[in-house]
Amino acid sequence: MNAAPVNPLLQVDDLVVEYGRGRHAFRALRGVSLDIAPGECLGLVGESGSGKSTLGKAILGLAPITAGSVRFDGREISRLSGRARRALADDVQVVFQDPYGSLNPAMTIGDVLAEPLLTTGMGPKAAEGKVREMLDRVRLPAAAMDRYPSEFSGGQRQRIAIARALVRGPRLVVCDEPVSALDLTTQAAILDLFIELQRDTGVAYLFVSHDLGVVRRVCHRVAVMYHGELVEVGDGEQVTRAPRHPYAERLRLASPVADPAAQRERRRQWLALREVPDAAVR
């Protein structure tokens, strides 16, 4: 007996984002459509300027939407008022690339994590308990509550940013290049943390990255963006190891490998693909 189809948690249909007007308008997104199921991790990959971060911002209400729609759990959210958008923060959160820039340096970690709970009406005692629970989940000691962001390493600050995003129990988190500022060892630990938290909470991720190796590790499906358009969407293993689209193959070949001979061959193939005209890549 076939299982009933799962309705998308997030559904983006024919989304267009333009900056400027008239002859000077720049179209950052060109009719993008995708969906994310409850508990799924969808990777969104592309080079700088491809439009991937713009899509994340449009979903969060931080970029202007010219046309198309964004629906969350069946509800249109692309043109919410300020109050309605703030209310949506219970369900949709974000983890940014720069963990230090996203944390208020004048607030203790305890205050940073408690603030979104107190604004919803939770009492101070309950909020403190929730903060301690979240710090434990991201592998930080309860003593971190009394310290400031500047006292932590980059990896620890990103753990704090993840805890802040999850403390209200959202159903979707937009992760905008959340490990690109970290060294490789710390990246691996943070990616494992994302996987563990998703398994434990059932949260869905839109995981934005320029690195196919990163999304291979954490994502169920992968969408490849090029010049504001999606050029390939599919199973994570298939897209990251044997992509069908020339641009996705460029991204795969751009990821280094440890073997020198294999890396030389990979670079030769990558340089050959760079000669393919943009029109052919599309």
Q: Are 252 and 240 in contact (CB under 8 A)?
A: yes
For residue 84, CA distances in Å to 75, 76, 79, 87, 89 come to: 12, 11, 10, 5, 9
Which residue has 């760079």 as its token pair?
A: 274
Cross-strand partners of 93: 173
**3 state DSSP class of 163:** helix
| Interatomic CA distance for residues 260 and 14, integer angstroms | 43
Cross-strand partners of 222: 43, 234
Q: So what's the pLDDT on residue 101?
A: 79
Write out the two tokens for 217.
């590790």
Q: So what's the pLDDT on residue 279?
A: 44
* pLDDT tens per residue across all 282 residues of the chain: 455 557 899 999 999 999 988 778 899 999 999 999 999 999 999 988 999 999 999 999 999 999 999 999 999 999 888 888 888 989 999 999 887 777 899 999 999 999 999 988 999 999 999 999 999 999 999 999 999 999 999 999 999 999 999 999 999 999 999 998 889 899 999 999 999 999 999 999 999 999 888 999 999 999 999 999 999 999 999 999 999 998 888 888 777 766 676 667 767 766 666 655 554 555
| Interatomic CA distance for residues 220 and 280, integer angstroms | 28
Cross-strand partners of 42: 206, 221
**3 state DSSP class of 30:** strand
